[in-house]
């Protein structure tokens, strides 16, 4: 077998069912190997390498297993960089395989040569340049282990073409090689009994406790343990954008999302808490705002598997570097009735905040407001175990606010890197993994065009993804900042023709008679059913048609462009500066 055959065989043995791969000169042997094993591993051809990387991420985000993508050398490889960086910031297990020029040409500026290990050194959990075909099997096995254990993340495998072509006899190949990673011990961290006692003592003494739950809860598969802990203690639950679905969004204890565009009541509750139980979070700036003012009146318990996160942004009074699932199991086992705090007054206060500051928006008889559109989509799909992906911008935050997730791994968002163009290829990946599920990409017209070419993949691979396009002809989030902080001066945030300023409307958010581009025609050009709606009355039936359509579908929803995502805490500000209207 040659090196390419060995690598593909190892992918299969590591449990890889799907790989998103775009071929080129330095990855052709790998594609030939994939072709030979097409009955054992399905190769999906994206129309851009970045799309493939986000689709592979979607496999990982919905299953917990490593997603796999592949590109050729040079520009193919660098097109994966954004997806790799995205996976690093959101702790997604991703195996990114890149072809490389033959070793004798490395360093000569050969055609399509790029030093991918150096390019990706700071955005991967680990990285390899394979120099000996005898190392292929071991490196693939190591890569999957590193990517999926501890705090998950992306691993790069750069494979020179001569290594792909080098041949070993079957006697020389070990498909279950031993490996030794003495500096990497992800499974030894567990909470000490005295730490569990400290946490329970803090809970017992608290009067205004809050759970602040992030993506680490979902990644560690500890949502059931979290729910048990929350229900037994009665402590309200606030979630980060990565943590949505960790606790049922419609449950009375949920205060939903906190942070810059979180609910007012979640932010007020965290601000006023005397105990903040921070589980699987990293105290990022979009949650904390002005860091020294965040949750400064209470005690902080921080549990996280990554020791580098402990005290990184916010000092914890009780730091616990441990696997969150194991810690929650220990907390639930050790908890007695005496540890349950009396928080009757506290929950009544939060209930009052919910009544005073609900998520709301203005009403319109004719116009389609993005918030109302998402609420209607939620109404029609909430009982269908739907998977939702999003791009980045206003639509992303409105989806996070108004679509309530009851289960984990049903919400896919580029949260740390905030990558426009994530939604469509991520939906493509989810639909690959779950062919019979309802998968909807809630997108904006700006984000959607970043990877619009993946419509071709949907059609050619028979992936019935639904695209719910909230089209306001603008880069909406940047427009919102222009309105709030720059006196409404538009600086390249209108996405229509520059010689048609009338398309901006007359200041009331109205849309032009003809929108640009014509997304319905584009979809039809790819062989996909499309429809545009402009009025509130049309929307419910159009959503029903989209959901029930047998195949991919694009619903172009014309929305006003001067709606703002509220609440909003300006960058570096505090809860006291929160904009509510």
| Catalytic site includes residue 111 | yes
Whole-number Å distance between alpha carbons of 578 and 581: 9
| Catalytic site includes residue 428 | no
Whole-number Å distance between alpha carbons of 309 and 553: 42
Of the residues 111, 175, 179, 485, only one is catalytic, namely 111
Whole-number Å distance between alpha carbons of 393 and 101: 38
| Catalytic site includes residue 355 | no
Backbone angles phi, psi at 159, to 5 degrees: -120, 105
Tell me if 514 sits within 8 A of 473, measured CB to CB.
no
Backbone angles phi, psi at 439, to 5 degrees: -120, 120
Question: In a 10 Å sphere around its CB, with 0-12 CB exposed, 13-18 middle and 19+ buried, how is residue 365 labelled?
Answer: exposed
Tell me if 125 sits within 8 A of 135, measured CB to CB.
no
* 3-class SS letters over 450-515: CCCCHHHHHHHCCCCCEEEEEECCECHHHHHHHHHHCCCCCCCCECCCCCCHHHHCCCCCCCCCCC
What is the Cα 314 distance to its own chain's centre? 23
Tell me if 76 sits within 8 A of 27, measured CB to CB.
yes
User: Which pair of tokens denotes residue 163?
Assistant: 């290594």
| Catalytic site includes residue 477 | yes
Whole-number Å distance between alpha carbons of 114 and 73: 7
User: Which pair of tokens denotes residue 503?
Assistant: 């398309």
Q: Count of alpha carbons within 13 Å of 87, Cβ hemisphere only? A: 39
| Nearest alpha carbon to residue 269 among 218, 345, 325, 217 | 345
**E strand segments, 11-66:** 18-21, 42-44
Whole-number Å distance between alpha carbons of 483 and 473: 16
Strands 529-533 and 154-160: unpaired
Of the residues 9, 10, 49, 210, only one is catalytic, namely 49
User: Which pair of tokens denotes residue 384?
Assistant: 């269908």
Of the residues 112, 198, 253, 349, only one is catalytic, namely 112
| Catalytic site includes residue 568 | no
Of the residues 88, 141, 161, 314, only one is catalytic, namely 161
| Nearest alpha carbon to residue 465 among 428, 411, 425 | 428
Whole-number Å distance between alpha carbons of 191 and 303: 9
Of the residues 242, 477, 546, 578, only one is catalytic, namely 477
Q: 387 has which bridge partners?
A: 439
User: Which pair of tokens denotes residue 180?
Assistant: 């030794």
| Nearest alpha carbon to residue 30 among 153, 136, 131, 129 | 136
Burial 269-288 (b: 16+ CB within 10 A, else e): bbbbbbbbbbbbbbbbebbb
User: Which pair of tokens denotes residue 289?
Assistant: 């705002």
Active site residues: 49, 111-112, 161, 477
């Amino acid at each position: 077998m040659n090196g390419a055959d060995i690598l593909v065989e190892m992918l299969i043995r590591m449990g890889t069912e799907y790989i998103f791969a775009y071929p080129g000169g330095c990855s052709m042997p790998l594609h030939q190997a994939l072709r030979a094993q097409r009955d054992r591993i399905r190769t999906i051809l994206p129309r851009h390498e970045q799309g493939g990387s986000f689709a592979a991420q979607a496999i990982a985000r919905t299953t917990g297993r490593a997603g796999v993508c592949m590109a050729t050398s040079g520009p193919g490889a660098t097109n994966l960089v954004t997806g790799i960086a995205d996976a690093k910031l959101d702790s997604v297990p991703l195996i990114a395989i890149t072809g490389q020029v033959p070793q004798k040409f490395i360093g000569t500026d050969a055609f399509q040569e790029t030093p991918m290990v150096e390019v990706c050194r700071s955005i991967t959990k680990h990285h390899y340049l394979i120099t000996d075909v005898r190392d292929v099997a071991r490196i693939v096995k190591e890569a999957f282990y590193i990517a999926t254990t501890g705090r998950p993340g992306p691993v790069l495998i750069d494979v020179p073409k001569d290594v792909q072509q080098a041949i070993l006899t079957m006697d020389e190949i070990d498909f279950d090689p031993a490996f030794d990673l003495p500096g990497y011990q992800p499974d030894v961290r567990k909470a000490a009994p005295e730490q569990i006692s400290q946490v329970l003592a803090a809970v017992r003494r608290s009067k205004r406790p809050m759970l602040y739950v992030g993506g680490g809860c979902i990644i560690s598969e500890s949502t059931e343990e979290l729910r048990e802990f929350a229900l037994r203690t009665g402590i309200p639950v606030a979630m980060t954008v990565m943590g949505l679905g960790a606790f049922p969004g419609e449950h009375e204890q949920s205060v939903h999302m906190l942070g810059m565009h979180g609910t007012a009541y979640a932010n007020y509750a965290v601000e006023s808490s005397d105990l903040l139980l921070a589980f699987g979070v990293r105290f990022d700036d979009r949650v904390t705002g002005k860091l020294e003012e965040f949750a400064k009146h209470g005690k902080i318990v921080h549990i996280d598997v990554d020791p580098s996160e402990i005290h990184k942004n916010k000092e914890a009074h009780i730091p616990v570097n441990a696997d969150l699932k194991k810690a929650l199991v220990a907390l639930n086992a050790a908890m007695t009735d005496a540890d349950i705090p009396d928080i009757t007054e506290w929950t009544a206060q939060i209930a009052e905040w919910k009544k005073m500051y609900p998520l709301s928006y203005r009403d319109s008889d004719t116009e389609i407001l993005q918030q109302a559109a998402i609420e209607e989509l939620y109404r029609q799909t909430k009982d269908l175990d739907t998977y939702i992906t999003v791009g980045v911008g206003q639509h992303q935050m409105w989806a996070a606010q108004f679509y309530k997730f009851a289960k984990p791994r049903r919400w896919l968002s580029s949260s740390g890197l905030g990558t426009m163009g994530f939604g469509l290829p991520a939906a493509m990946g989810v639909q690959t993994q779950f062919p019979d599920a309802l998968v909807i990409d809630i997108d904006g017209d700006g984000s959607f065009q970043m990877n619009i070419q993946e419509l071709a993949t949907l059609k050619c691979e028979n992936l019935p993804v639904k695209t719910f396009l909230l089209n306001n002809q603008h880069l909406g989030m940047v427009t919102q900042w222009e309105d709030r902080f720059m006196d409404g001066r538009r600086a390249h945030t209108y996405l229509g023709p520059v010689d048609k300023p009338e398309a901006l409307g007359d200041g009331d958010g109205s849309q032009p008679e003809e929108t640009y581009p014509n997304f319905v025609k584009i979809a039809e050009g790819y062989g996909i059913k499309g429809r545009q709606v402009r009025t509130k009355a049309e929307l419910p039936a159009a959503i029903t048609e989209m959901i029930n359509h047998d195949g991919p579908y694009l619903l172009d929803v014309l929305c006003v462009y001067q709606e703002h995502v509220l609440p909003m805490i300006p960058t570096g500000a505090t809860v006291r500066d929160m904009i509510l209207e």
